Amino acid sequence: MNLLIMGLPGAGKGTQAARIVEKFGVVHISTGDMFRAAIANQTEMGLLAKTYIDKGELVPDEVTNGIVKERLAQEDVKQKGFLLDGYPRTAEQAHALDTTLSTLHIKLDGVINIIVDPAHLVERLSGRIINRKTGESYHKIFNPPTDYNETDYYQREDDKPETVKRRLDVNIAQSQPIIDHYRTKGLVYDIKGDQEIEFVFEDITEVLLKLK
Ligand code: ADP
Ligand code: AMP
């Protein structure tokens, strides 16, 4: 299965992606995770991406399109299918993805669109904590890890309040045309994201079992 998971920052994409990958065996491709890995490794691309990410801005399309294209061409994607998380985020990226997929002879099966009232997102993002080893996201109140401590978990730099607002503004402005692009192709499955994590996953599972 070849899937996109969409939703504003904090909608629950990463949380649900981890569960989808476990149940359906697809390859998780998160552009945000790829940028954070590049930053941690201090690659040239990582250092460039960091200048945008720290401000809550999007990394330029040509950089982002390049890393996704390269990743989608790898063998594991062909064998297992993929779940793209956090991409595309601009109309230009959506067009680049169409071209990449058709060049690679890959068909997109569905777009999981997680809808959450934007009023809840600041609270979700400001309480988000990440496991340093696995990269998985938890929440101090809504999804606390059993082994929480300040060494093994950290708060993302761009989840601090000053940056969160900018990220939400940028993403709200860009997201609608992209959803519309896939909706006209009949690929979008809207999922109610304002419910407990396990119920969101049940709704997603119902959709994916039909697509399989
Ligand atoms: P995204 O990848 O879309 O930015 P995450 O999956 O990292 O979002 O989730 C953002 C924050 O909200 C995390 O702290 C996560 O634990 C929490 N969260 C995710 N889904 C829910 C939910 N259904 N209800 C409450 N909190 C949630
Ligand atoms: P995320 O982990 O998806 O919340 O992404 C964190 C940050 O990485 C975003 O705020 C952007 O700065 C950058 N980023 C992630 N995905 C993209 C993308 N598709 N296009 C541009 N920038 C991105």
Of the chain, the percentage scoring pLDDT greater than 90 comes to: 99
Whether 113 contacts 7, CB under 8 Å: yes
- Two structure tokens written together for 193: 């994201």
Whether 142 contacts 195, CB under 8 Å: no
Q: Would you place residue 43 in the very low, low, confident or very high pLDDT band (cuts 50, 70, 90)?
A: very high
> Looking at the predicted structure, is the pLDDT value of residue 72 above 90?
yes
> Looking at the predicted structure, is the pLDDT value of residue 22 above 90?
yes
Whether 9 contacts 168, CB under 8 Å: yes
Q: Hunting for tokens 């998985």 — which residue is that?
A: 136
For residue 8, give the ligand nearest its CA: 1
The mean pLDDT value of the chain amounts to: 97
Give the tens place of pLDDT for each residue, 87-121: 999 999 999 999 999 999 999 999 999 999 999 99
Ligand 1 — pocket residues by CB below 6 A?
A: 7, 9-15, 124, 127-128, 137-139, 142-143, 193, 196-197, 200
pLDDT of residue 212: 87
Average pLDDT over residues 24-53: 98
- Residue ranges with strand state E in the chain: 2-6, 27-30, 82-85, 110-115, 128-131, 137-139, 153-154, 188-192
Q: Which domains does the chain have, with CATH numbers?
A: 2-116+180-211 (3.40.50.300)
Interval between CA 192 and ligand 2 midpoint (Å): 22
Give the tens place of pLDDT for each residue, 137-181: 999 999 999 999 999 999 999 999 889 999 999 999 999 999 999
Q: Hunting for tokens 């809840």 — which residue is that?
A: 120
Catalytic-residue membership of 89: yes
pLDDT of residue 28: 98
Q: Would you place residue 68 in the very low, low, confident or very high pLDDT band (cuts 50, 70, 90)?
A: very high
- Two structure tokens written together for 97: 């993805």
27-30 and 110-115 strand pairing: unpaired
Give 3's strand partners: 83, 110
pLDDT of residue 111: 98
Catalytic-residue membership of 128: yes
Interval between CA 212 and ligand 1 midpoint (Å): 25
